[in-house]
Structure 1
């Protein structure tokens, strides 16, 4: 900590303590973290989710997951702040955890809980995470035109329904648009 003056260190420590008290106040006011321990029925005050439109339940689910993500981020920040306060106590604050070089005061002023210099900051780039589904999705075909899917090796053409209809559908002779169908095979488009 030799590169930090007592005044700078005091200012950074006060900043960390202020942010820590704000975060602790957030979690104590939350009670059980935004009602996440409660069931969806209890948190919405509804007796049942069945009488609601699915979008209502979807909105509530989205809000709960967003709150959980925010709380996870704030919990991580609180852990980093506590760790920074511990480093102040053991005189290792202001030194990079990887290379041991002094972290510039300006960086500590901007991110007082950091344990890394700029060069060794761990990446937290969310855009690097890609869903596992993307590993199996075929890329879209190049170009345009009627036969582009056939050229790309994908199945998506105008005759798709005719091919799939051979395997049956939910129509029954009783519900058919045709008058007096005799069997399931007479319901197909090909029968026309």
Structure 2
């Protein structure tokens, strides 16, 4: 903690206390508002006796909203825990040093993320972002140079020519909708 000036430490402490106050205020509001509690069942939260009469998209929307709210709640709980840990480290005089290597965390990093306990090099990576879908292990990779030789392959079917290829079979405003069979244009079909 000796690498931080007293004014810097005071500024960071103030920021952490302000963040803690905002997070606790959010959780206190959640306790007071029992009507939208995430602990309620979906039917209780929506006020519906049954979801059978609703369109599936309505239930999907409610499920999405609830999932988003749960994810935000989990993040805010984690943030409050980290803020409390940072404030404890300030009280113990160990704030501002990396948990892994013990090196000083630069003030600029602490100013951007005051509850961090790691230097940039030792920040734990989110495991979910590094995990790739299992399907990628068996998927065939795209051919090398895919998309680079469009002019060379001119005339072959690709996404750019898809409409023209399908259009010859008829559209809602083409000769295919004529009353006579095997018509090439509107004038023949009339």
Give the TM-score normalised by the residue count of structure 1.
Answer: 0.67
CA offsets 1:69-113 (integer angstroms, 9 cap, x no match): 111111111111000000000000011111111111111111100
| Ranges in structure 2 where 5+ consecutive residues have no aligned partner | 144-190
Q: Distance in 2 between matches of 1:21 and 1:9?
A: 18
| Ranges in structure 1 where 5+ consecutive residues have no aligned partner | 144-192
Q: Distance in 2 between matches of 1:55 and 1:101?
A: 52
Shift of 1:42: 0.7
1:15 aligns with 2:28: no
1:105 aligns with 2:86: no
Contact 1:95 1:115 in 2 (8 A): yes
The 3 A distance-change label for structure 1 pair 140 and 52 is: farther
After the TM superposition, list the runs of 4 or more consecutive aligned residues in structure 1 that deviate by more than 6 angstroms. Answer: none
Alignment of 1:35-46 (within 5 A): 35-46=37-48
- The residue matched to 1:122 in structure 2 has which SS? coil
Contact 2:36 2:45 in 1 (8 A): no
Give the TM-score normalised by the residue count of structure 2.
Answer: 0.68
**Range 25-34 or range 56-65, more displaced:** 25-34
Q: Distance in 1 between matches of 2:16 and 2:6?
A: 15
The 3 A distance-change label for structure 1 pair 4 and 34 is: farther
Contact 1:84 1:114 in 2 (8 A): yes
Q: Distance in 2 between matches of 1:34 and 1:102?
A: 44
